[in-house]
Amino acid sequence: MSDETVADIKRQSLSIIVTKGSLDWAYPPFILATTAAALDYDVTLFFTFYGLALVKKKLDLKFTVLGNAAMEMPMFGTHIAMPNIMAMIPGVDAMAGSMMKKLIKEKGVASIEDLREAAVLSDVRMIACQMTVDLFEYKREDLMDEIELGGAATYFEVASKSHINMFI
Amino acid sequence: MSDHVLDAKGLNCPLPILKAKKALKSVPSGEILTIYATDPGSVADFAAFCNQTGNELVESSQDGDVYIFKIKHTAA
């Protein structure tokens, strides 16, 4: 018994409630979901509120300085923190966003498009919260074909059977 | 024997793991996949990957900046 691997014992499972849809916050759920799928977990992502931006057919993710008060960027061989008041200045978010995209490319970090594609290919189950879809007036055809619609009860049915449940 | 090779150099987490998982699908059971990576995090991650999936990490070594992993496809 003791030298059985986890894989022999029982298939593991992961669920994540995804509530954030900015470029940076898109990473944790998709990295964890695709990695867990590669480890043979059954994975379910439940997208609600701003997380719905991640399941639109056409991704157009933005970066916001305001939401990341402690952010600092590697610059000029050091790390530069941005005074929070600068986040209010038009163009600052766009500038920080393109810096982030440049870093992502330079460091060989996957794009969100690629990670989302990998999630689809590895059978990650994706559920969009019906209530917030209605609230923000998204149309079914705005969302990926692979997405299911469901509510809190659907989530709990998944969560109660999952080994790991997260909220991001 | 080991002509299954995955070059994951320059890629960052979780791409080496995702690509290794995909590559293993075309490696017959009992044969070895050799992976080259430059992500220092991949040392711990490939050990964890093998632990979780039931594949055997036969070798984990380093040559300069390149990490070399040999994984025997033993999982069902």
Give the model confidence (pLDDT) of A31-90 as tens digits: 999 999 999 999 999 999 999 999 999 988 888 877 777 788 888 888 888 777 777 888
Domain boundaries, chain B: 4-72
Identify the pLDDT of residue A1.
Answer: 42
Q: Does A99 touch chain B (CB under 8 A)?
A: no
Distance of alpha carbon B34 from alpha carbon A5, whole angstroms: 22
In this complex, which of B10, B17, B49 lies closest to A108 when CB atoms are compared? B10
Closest Cα partner for B39 from B4, B69, B72, B59? B69
Of residues A16 and A93, which shows the higher confidence score? A16
Judge contact between A52 and A21, C-beta under 8 A.
yes
Predicted ipTM > 0.95: no
Q: With respect to CATH, is domain A6-63+111-167 assigned 3.60.21.10?
A: no
Mean per-residue pLDDT, B35-59: 94
Find the length of chain B.
Answer: 76
Instruction: Collect all residues of chain B within an 8 Å Cβ-Cβ radius of residue A40.
Output: 52-53, 75
Distance of alpha carbon A72 from alpha carbon A79, whole angstroms: 6
Instruction: Kindly report the backbone phi and psi dihedral angles of residue B5, in degrees, each rounded to the nearest multiple of 5, phi listed first.
Output: -125, 135
Q: Which of B13, B18, B47, B68 is catalytic?
A: B13
Closest A-chain CA to B38:
A108
| pLDDT for B67 beyond 80 | yes
Identify the pLDDT of residue A124.
Answer: 96
With pLDDT > 70 as the criterion, what percentage of chain B qualifies?
96
Instruction: Collect all residues of chain B within an 8 Å Cβ-Cβ radius of residue A113.
Output: none
Q: Which of B21, B42, B72 to mutate to test the interface with A (most CBs of A within 10 A)?
A: B21
Identify the pLDDT of residue A21.
Answer: 93
- The confidence band for A150, taking pLDDT boundaries of 50, 70 and 90, is very high
Instruction: State the fold for domain B4-72.
Output: Translation Initiation Factor IF3 (3.30.110)
Instruction: Kindly report the backbone phi and psi dihedral angles of residue B34, in degrees, each rounded to the nearest multiple of 5, phi listed first.
Output: -100, 130
Separation in Å, CA A35 to CA A116, A166, B49, B50? 12, 15, 9, 13
Domain boundaries, chain A: 6-63+111-167
